[in-house]
Amino acid sequence: MTESRDPVISDAASAPDDRAWWALLERRHDAAIPVTGSPLWELYGALCQAHRHALAKGSFAVAHLAQSLDGRIATLSGISQWVSGDEDLLHTHRMRALADAVLVGVNTVLLDDPQLTVRRCAGANPVRAVIDPERRLDGSQRIFRDGAAPTLLFAASDRARSGDALGHAEVVPVPRGPFGLDPQEIRRVLARRGLTWLFIEGGGITVSRFLATRALDRLQLTVAPLIIGSGRPSLALPEIEDLASGLRPSTRRFVLGNDVMVECDFDG
Ligand SMILES: NC(=O)c1ccc[n+]([C@@H]2O[C@H](COP(=O)([O-])OP(=O)(O)OC[C@H]3O[C@@H](n4cnc5c(N)ncnc54)[C@H](OP(=O)(O)O)[C@@H]3O)[C@@H](O)[C@H]2O)c1
């Protein structure tokens, strides 16, 4: 058996007062941030550097999904806790801590009622955002009531007016396009508010729409050794005729406990 050369993040994923993580957080806007030296710097240092470079074009967007071996992110009824292990959960909290804004689709808020805050590592809570074009959310969910971070609700412009609110959240109207609300426009709206690093945390429909509109710089797919056999799909894109039309981005791989995360780079 050959030994894996993929960086292993699991042993860095433990203590909440992890000094290396603090050091990285402090240097996340530093042009000379290290991108080698340990798996932590290799994974997150490179993302910080990519964010800096992306500022020239406006913003940086990274999506993440944890999926089973058979490409599912949840059961059909919507249970997704938990597909991946503790190391990947810590990773998502670290991604939140690095990002300016974290975004999910309306189904995720309805089914999970997530807080979208940073709790498993050090770091500030990002601005929270949800795409709810038809205004299906009623304001009873935690992100609208807990006041833990500023919260935005993107709704179709025929369903909302600037200045509307839902609980603590500001409602932001966005015009409809071929893939629903235009992900590129959502990125522009966030960038105009100074939110230049966007972390899209699911679910599959939301990430797929960002991917379909070329609105992702990176896509992180954590594959867990689990077969669900049915359930909500990870990515779903329009049909292609042949494999030459498939996407073949350059990738990096990281071992996260029992899971493997493949990070796709769409800028390269
Ligand atoms: N394993 C993981 O990593 C992970 C992560 C997050 C969530 N989850 C699970 O995934 C499930 C939810 O995922 P999902 O794929 O069903 O749904 P989702 O992505 O959470 O939400 C999809 C809905 O959001 C709205 N939406 C998203 N992007 C839009 C756009 N660009 N324009 C217009 N509308 C947009 C649409 O609402 P309308 O239908 O109203 O048009 C769409 O149907 C839950 O079970 C959750 O637990 C798993």
Question: Residues 168-217: pLDDT tens digits?
Answer: 999 999 999 888 999 999 999 999 999 999 999 999 999 999 999 999 99
Flag whether pLDDT at 3 surpasses 80. Answer: no
% the chain with pLDDT above 90: 91
Mutation test residue for ligand 1: of 69, 206, 207, 261, the one with most atoms within 8 Å of CB: 206
Which pLDDT band, with edges at 50, 70 and 90, does 1 fall under?
very low
**CA 24 to each of CA 33, 39, 124, 150: distance values in angstroms, whole numbers, following the listed order:** 8, 12, 13, 24
Sheet containing 218-223: which strands, arranged edge to edge? 165-166, 169-174, 151-156, 127-131, 101-105, 197-200, 60-67, 218-223, 259-265, 250-256
| pLDDT on residue 27 | 96
Cα distance between residue 178 and residue 153, in whole Å: 20
Q: Cα 128 from chain centroid?
A: 11
Amino acid at residue number 125? N
* pLDDT at res. 13: 47
Please determine, for residue 10, whether its predicted confidence score (pLDDT) is greater than 60. no
Backbone angles phi, psi at 155, to 5 degrees: -125, 160
Structure confidence by residue, pLDDT tens digits, 70-82: 999 999 999 999 9
Distance, CA 161 to ligand 1 centroid (Å)? 23
Band of the pLDDT at 11, cuts 50, 70, 90? very low
CA of 30 to the centre of ligand 1 (A): 34
Average pLDDT over residues 91-110: 98
Q: What is the mean pLDDT of residues 226-230?
A: 98
Rg (Cα) of the chain, in Å, rounded? 18
| pLDDT for the residue 4 | 52
60-67 and 218-223 strand pairing: parallel
Q: Which of 71, 91, 70, 83 is nearest to 24 (CA)?
A: 91
Percent of the chain at pLDDT > 70 equals 95
Q: Identify the residue whose C-alpha is closest to ligand 1 atom 21.
A: 105
Q: Is 266 in the pocket of ligand 1 (CB under 6 A)?
A: no
- Residue 209 has a pLDDT of 97
Q: The whole model's pTM is what?
A: 0.96
Continuous H helices in 55-121 = 86-98, 106-112
Q: What is the mean pLDDT of the chain?
A: 94
8: confidence class by pLDDT, cuts 50, 70, 90: confident
Q: DSSP alpha helices (H): ranges in 9-155?
A: 19-26, 39-40, 46-54, 86-98, 106-112, 142-145
Q: Could you tell me whether strands 232-233 and 72-74 are parallel, antiparallel, or unpaired per DSSP bridges?
A: antiparallel
Rounded CA-CA distance 148/258 in Å is: 32
Q: How confident is the model at residue 18 (pLDDT cuts 50, 70, 90)?
A: confident
**pLDDT score at 17:** 54
Decide whether any atom of ligand 1 lies within 6 Å of the 73 Cβ: yes
Cβ atoms 124, 97 nearer than 8 A: yes
Ligand 1 contacts CB of residue 80 (under 6 A) = yes
Q: Taken in order 50, 19, 201, 167, is the CA torsion positive or negative?
A: negative
**Ligand 1 atom, smallest distance to 84 CA:** 1
